[in-house]
Structure 1
Amino acid sequence: MIVVTTPTGTIGRQVLARLVDRRAPVRVIVRDPSRLPAHLVREIDVVVGSHRDPAVVARAFTDAQAVFWLVPVDPRATGPTSAFVDFTRPACAALRHGTTVRRVVGISALGRGFSRPAGLATASLAMDDLIAGTGVAYRALTMPAFMENLFMHAGTIREQGVIYSPVTADLPLPTVATRDVAAVAARLLCDGAWTGQDAVPLLGPEDLTFDEIARILTGVLGRPVRYQRIPVERYTATLVGQGMSAAMARAMADMLTAKNDGLDQLVGRGPEHATPTAFRDWCRQVFAPALDSVAVESSSRRFS
């Protein structure tokens, strides 16, 4: 039995679909079962609740051999440690005490060995350490930015033709499509041979600057798109204005500032870290068809 957390989220739903396609036995932890794809419900076991709840985790882990672990980051959390580490403590308690789970595949961040705190990335790495401390076999899929993060800017791209961020405009950074992450996660979850603990960086096929991302979007969308770097204080204030707690907004800003200082470049790019989906292809296949509908929902995300 494989347990999938966040089965209705961007990555979790793709992991779930791949596991069902492989005919793997799957159990999901979900707050709202009505959000599960109707055609999959009859194929899986469902445990209703939050995977922060000790009772829910204990029930879901019963007779399971593997777990897909992803923390749904709460933008209103009191801080990144609460959002990542404290959220994960009940699962780690279950892993330590009599569970049948032998392997965990988690979604985490790049940045191991970075010389100073890096906000959300640092908290995610602390979560990895907590899971590893249980002794379970663990693979942390360590991420740069997701291509899907571009949907956070859908409103300003549609309405202003601008992407706003505090990241340096000409800094090449890796970015990965969530479908590629889900493919690696599903493969590892179905493979009962691996042991030990390790990180698995997934860097996409290329590094791109935000200026290059804007040029690609201009070509794909057929409308001008440009990138504008903004001060980190302005970025943080905007996040707070959108309802994020001050501590989580600062943690997000600290992570992006750390990216400017090399956070995502500590792992050298090599074929073992590459994933197949190119950003231009993802824009054509995913972002462009969805832009108008997503932009309506995110039109309040303005930095100007």
Structure 2
Amino acid sequence: MLVITAPTSTIGRQLVDALLDLGAPLRLVARDPSRLAPEVRERAEVVEGSHSDAAVIDRACEGAEAVFWLAPDDPAAPSTEAAYVDFTRPACEAFARHGVKRVVGISVLGRGTPMAGHAGLVTASLAMNDLIAASGVAYRAVSCPSFMHNLLHQVGAIKDQGKFFMMIDPDLKSPTVATRDIAATAARLLLDDSWKGSGQVACLGPEDLSPNEMAQIISEVLGTEISYRQIPGAAFKERLTGFGMTDAMAQGMVDMFDAKNQGLDNAEPRTPESTTPTTFRQWCEEVLKPAVTA
């Protein structure tokens, strides 16, 4: 039995579909099971509730061989540690109690870099990895740079203003990855019972691009001029808190992007194993363009 947390998330949905296609027995932990597709509910066992709830995750882990772990975005969290480490504590106890053999989690790049200790959400995510590994399970952190998918949050700005906005330096080349490739990596690891111990598997996409280069590709795919604008950290934080994010989580985002501007995502060496297949241009053609033109 494979337990999948956050099955309605962007990564989780794609992971569930891939595993069901392969005939894997699944138990899904969902706060709102109605958000699962009807065909998914018919083919998988569902445990209703939050995977931060000790009783819920305990019930889900009973008889489980492996667990997919994803701490969801929580803009209302009082701290980054609460959003990642405290959220995960009940699960670590359940892993040990039920003898779960393997856990695959979604995490970030940056371990071992000078920036990692002051990188907001990244620092908290790496601490979450340490907590899971200390529970005694075999653990693999699927470690990722920024997601291409994040640009979908800016469809309105791209469509109406011809611009997109981030904190990243305009000419800094760094990796980005498609969520479909993250899900594929997680599926492979969940189905492979040969690995032991703890470690990470990086997903770096096939290329490093700067925001200005991304703007050029988006322009070519959409057939209209799209430009990139860098947002100062203070303005970015003000925007996030204006949307209701707590001060601590907004500062965690700012600290993360400050670390990325210092090369956090560039420290991981690119290898054939860490190079995932979906190019940014392909993602723009297949995902971003339909969203913008809808």
Letter in 1 for 2:220: G
Which SS does the other structure have where 2:168 is aligned? coil
Please tell me the root mean square deviation across aligned C-alpha atoms, in Å.
Answer: 0.9
Which SS does the other structure have where 1:3 is aligned? strand
User: Are 1:104 and 2:103 matched, yes or no?
Assistant: yes
- Paired position in structure 1 for 2:25: 25
Which SS does the other structure have where 1:277 is aligned? coil
Alignment of 1:217-228 (within 5 A): 217-228=218-229
- Paired position in structure 2 for 1:263: 264
Letter in 2 for 1:84: Y
Which SS does the other structure have where 2:273 is aligned? helix
How far apart are 1:113 and its partner, in Å? Answer: 1.4
- Paired position in structure 2 for 1:7: 7
- Paired position in structure 2 for 1:55: 55
How far apart are 1:100 and its partner, in Å? Answer: 3.0
Alignment of 1:221-240 (within 5 A): 221-240=222-241
Contact 1:169–1:229 (Cα < 8 Å) also in 2: yes
Which SS does the other structure have where 1:108 is aligned? strand
How far apart are 1:236 and its partner, in Å? Answer: 0.7
- Paired position in structure 1 for 2:246: 245
Contact 1:139–1:198 (Cα < 8 Å) also in 2: yes
Which SS does the other structure have where 2:71 is aligned? coil
d(CA) in 2 for partners of 1:229, 1:251:
18
d(CA) in 2 for partners of 1:154, 1:122:
29
Letter in 2 for 1:71: A
Contact 2:177–2:278 (Cα < 8 Å) also in 1: yes
Letter in 2 for 1:110: L
Contact 2:155–2:291 (Cα < 8 Å) also in 1: no
Which SS does the other structure have where 1:123 is aligned? helix
Out of 65-74 and 109-118, give the one that drifted further.
Answer: 109-118
- Paired position in structure 2 for 1:139: 140
How far apart are 1:226 and its partner, in Å? Answer: 0.4
- Paired position in structure 2 for 1:64: 64
Letter in 2 for 1:174: P
Q: Which runs of 5+ in 2 are unaligned?
A: none
How far apart are 1:114 and its partner, in Å? Answer: 2.3
Contact 1:80–1:248 (Cα < 8 Å) also in 2: yes
Aligned-pair identity in percent equals 53
d(CA) in 2 for partners of 1:119, 1:291:
31
TM-score, normalised to structure 1, is 0.94
TM-score, normalised to structure 2, is 0.98
Structure 1 segments (4+ residues) deviating >4 Å:
none
Contact 1:4–1:16 (Cα < 8 Å) also in 2: yes
How far apart are 1:39 and its partner, in Å? Answer: 1.2
Contact 1:73–1:84 (Cα < 8 Å) also in 2: no
How far apart are 1:292 and its partner, in Å? Answer: 4.5
Which SS does the other structure have where 1:122 is aligned? helix
d(CA) in 2 for partners of 1:180, 1:146:
10
Out of 129-138 and 284-293, give the one that drifted further.
Answer: 284-293
Q: Which runs of 5+ in 1 are unaligned?
A: 294-304
Contact 1:203–1:275 (Cα < 8 Å) also in 2: yes
Which SS does the other structure have where 1:11 is aligned? helix
Alignment of 1:1-304 (within 5 A): 1-97=1-97, 99-115=98-114, 116-293=117-294
How far apart are 1:195 and its partner, in Å? Answer: 1.1
How far apart are 1:107 and its partner, in Å? Answer: 0.1
Which SS does the other structure have where 2:29 is aligned? strand
Q: Provide the aligned length of Structure 1 versus Structure 2.
A: 292
d(CA) in 2 for partners of 1:269, 1:181:
16
- Paired position in structure 2 for 1:302: none
Which SS does the other structure have where 1:272 is aligned? coil
